[in-house]
């Protein structure tokens, strides 16, 4: 028995040969609105941006904000905040955008893939995995 | 939105809190079809019980008969499981298990663009489920390895045969695994990291 054969996508199939980016719509009849309507301004936060509270919840904080601030007394990723709060990722980023503007939280940006990867970083990760 | 009072929200257990020194995180994506073992793999290596993040979107279908005022709307929720491995006191690794359908990838800001790399998890009983994903990763320049989660009744193919079928170059690692086992799942991640390291060395030379 032989496995089924993959056919490579013909490059350039996506109109002008420029690969479609995440978020680009292939089907123009479909319009996706993330997180429902009226999401407002959103800070550029990654799923693994680490969030740390800089202050206790002020009395003016909404219940969501107060809960979020309590959760990130120690650093916590936006993905974990979304999970613990049972709120969609986009809703968490809207909440955080506000808290960042008020300087109630600090955001620690993730290390993202570079064209030429940082070998020290990769070696650190390998070393960490070895301990598992 | 109905929101639970903040006192009732169970946050991370004390032992699941990251130290204050945690400075930055990196991520790896595990991608594959439904039931291929993504969540099991995340759970095998994660230091926390796997968590779920979700995203909702409204899909407004604007057909020829609709005008904008009456466009029909459907809300969809997409969920993704993830886990965490503390690498050092400063560095944290997150693993995301995401379904193969790339039409949802845009929901997660830079999920693939920012990831160090990806593991394409395949089941030889339905190898073709992974074809589209590999094409996408190639297009986006996301480095990946292929891990074959060996289910008992799945056909076994020699690696060379799989490589030909998947049309993958010699340098891309293909390996067998049992995602239920921590050591096996860790080996998959190590293989990905070694592959990324070899790419980094090559990149530095050219
Ligand atoms: N026999 C066997 N079962 C597995 C293996 N990996 C996963 N499973 C089972 O397959 C089912 C689907 O796995 P899951 O991790 O939820 O798949 P996902 O949809 O990719 O997240 C679960 O019931 C697992 O226990 C494996 O290596 N061998
Ligand atoms: Mg799953």
More confident residue, B61 or B64: B61
pLDDT at B48 over 50: yes
Q: With respect to residue A65, please indicate whether it lies within any of the assigned structural domains.
A: yes
- Nearest by CB to residue A76, choosing from B18, B55, B82, is B18
Residue A22 lies in a domain: no
Q: Is B84 in the pocket of ligand 1 (CB under 6 A)?
A: no
- State yes or no: pLDDT of B71 exceeds 60: no
Verify whether the Cβ–Cβ distance B10 to A84 is below 8 Å: yes
pTM, to two decimals:
0.89
| Residue-number span of the structural domain to which A90 is assigned | 35-111
Would you state the pLDDT for residue B110? Answer: 79
pLDDT in tens, B104-121: 777 777 788 899 999 999
C-alpha A16/C-alpha B168 separation (Å) is 25
Tokens at residue B134, please? 């590999």
Q: Is the pLDDT of residue A28 over 50?
A: no
Exposed/middle/buried for residue B172 (C-beta within 10 Å: 0-12, 13-18, 19+) = middle
If you search the block for the tokens 């904000």, which residue do you land on? A65
In a domain, A75, yes or no: yes
Q: In this structure, how many other beta carbons lie within 10 angstroms of the beta carbon of residue B34?
A: 11
Ligand 1 near B38 CB (within 6 A): yes
Q: What is the CATH number of the domain that holds A85?
A: 1.10.10
- The H helix count followed by the E strand count for chain B is 4, 7
What are the structure tokens assigned to B113, written together?
Answer: 């663009």
Contact between B131 and B100 (Cβ < 8 Å): no
Residues B97 and B81: their CA atoms lie apart, in Å, by 5
Question: CB B200 to CB A109 under 8 A?
Answer: no
Classify residue A30: in a domain, yes or no.
Answer: no
Q: How confident is the model at residue B63 (pLDDT cuts 50, 70, 90)?
A: very low
Give the total number of structural domains in chain A: 1
B74 band by pLDDT with thresholds 50, 70 and 90? confident
Q: Which residue has the higher pLDDT, B7 or A125?
A: A125
DSSP A60: T
Calculate mean pLDDT across residues A88-100. 94
Residue B172, domain extent = 22-205
Least confident of A10-24, B47-61, B66-80, B121-135: A10-24
Alpha-carbon distances, residue A80 vs A21, B131, B152, B185 (angstroms): 26, 31, 34, 22
> Does B70 have pLDDT greater than 60?
no
Is-contact A33 B60, C-beta < 8 A? yes
User: Which of B76, B200, B202 is the best substitution to test chain A (most A C-beta atoms within 10 A)?
Assistant: B200
Give the pair of three-digit tokens for residue B172.
């891309």
Domain total of chain B: 1
Confidence of residue A39 (pLDDT cuts 50, 70, 90): low
Helix ranges (DSSP H) in chain A? 63-71, 78-85, 89-101, 119-130
Residues of B in contact with A31 (CB under 8 A): 59-60, 62
Residue A26 domain flag? no
> For the residues A3-27, what does the mean pLDDT come to?
58
- Kindly state the percentage of chain A with pLDDT values over 90: 64
Assess whether pLDDT exceeds 60 at residue B6.
no
Which residues from chain A sit within 8 angstroms of residue B24, using beta carbons? 50, 108-111
ipTM of predicted assembly, 2 dp: 0.89
Average pLDDT, chain A: 83
Asked if the structure places residue B5 within a domain, the reply is no
Cα B141–Cα A18–Cα B34 angle in degrees, nearest 5: 50
Confidence of residue B2 (pLDDT cuts 50, 70, 90): low
> Smallest Cβ distance to A67: which of B9, B108, B201?
B9
DSSP label at residue B65: T
Q: What number of helices (H) and strands (E) belong to chain A? A: 4, 4
- Given a cut of 80, is residue A62 above it in pLDDT? yes
Mutate: best of A11, A12, A83, partner B, most B CBs <10 A: A83
Going along B87-143, which residue ranges are E strands? Answer: 91-99, 117-122
**Tell me, what's the pLDDT at B5?**
61
C-alpha angle A80-A84-A86 in degrees, rounded to nearest 5 = 110
């Amino acid at each position: 028995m032989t496995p089924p054969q993959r056919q490579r996508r013909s490059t350039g199939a996506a109109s002008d040969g420029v690969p479609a980016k995440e978020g680009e719509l292939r089907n123009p009849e479909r319009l996706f609105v993330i997180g429902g309507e009226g999401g407002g301004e959103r800070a550029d936060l990654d799923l693994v941006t680490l969030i740390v509270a800089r202050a206790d919840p002020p009395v003016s904080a909404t219940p969501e904000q107060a809960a979020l601030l309590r959760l990130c007394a120690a650093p916590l990723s936006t993905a974990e905040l979304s999970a613990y709060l049972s709120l969609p990722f986009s809703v968490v980023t809207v909440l955080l955008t506000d808290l960042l503007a008020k300087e109630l939280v600090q955001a620690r940006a993730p290390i993202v893939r570079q064209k030429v990867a940082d070998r020290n970083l990769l070696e650190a990760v390998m070393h960490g995995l070895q301990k598992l | 939105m109905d929101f639970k009072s903040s006192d009732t929200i169970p946050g991370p257990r004390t032992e699941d809190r990251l130290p204050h020194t945690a400075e930055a995180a990196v991520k790896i994506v595990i991608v594959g079809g439904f039931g291929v073992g993504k969540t099991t793999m995340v759970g095998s290596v994660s230091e926390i019980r796997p968590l779920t993040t979700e995203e909702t979107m409204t899909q407004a279908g604007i057909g020829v008969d609709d005008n904008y005022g009456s466009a029909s709307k459907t809300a969809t929720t997409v969920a993704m499981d993830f886990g965490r491995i503390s690498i050092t006191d400063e560095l944290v690794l997150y693993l995301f298990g995401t379904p193969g359908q790339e039409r949802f990838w845009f929901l997660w800001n830079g999920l693939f663009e920012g990831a160090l790399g990806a593991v394409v998890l395949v089941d030889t009983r339905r190898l073709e489920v992974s074809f589209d994903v590999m094409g996408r990763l190639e297009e986006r320049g996301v480095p990946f390895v292929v891990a074959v989660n060996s289910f008992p009744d799945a056909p076994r193919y020699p690696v060379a045969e799989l490589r030909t079928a998947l049309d993958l170059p010699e340098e891309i690692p293909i390996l067998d695994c049992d995602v239920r086992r921590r050591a096996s799942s860790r080996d998959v991640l190590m293989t990905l990291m070694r592959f990324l390291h070899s790419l980094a060395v090559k990149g530095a030379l050219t």
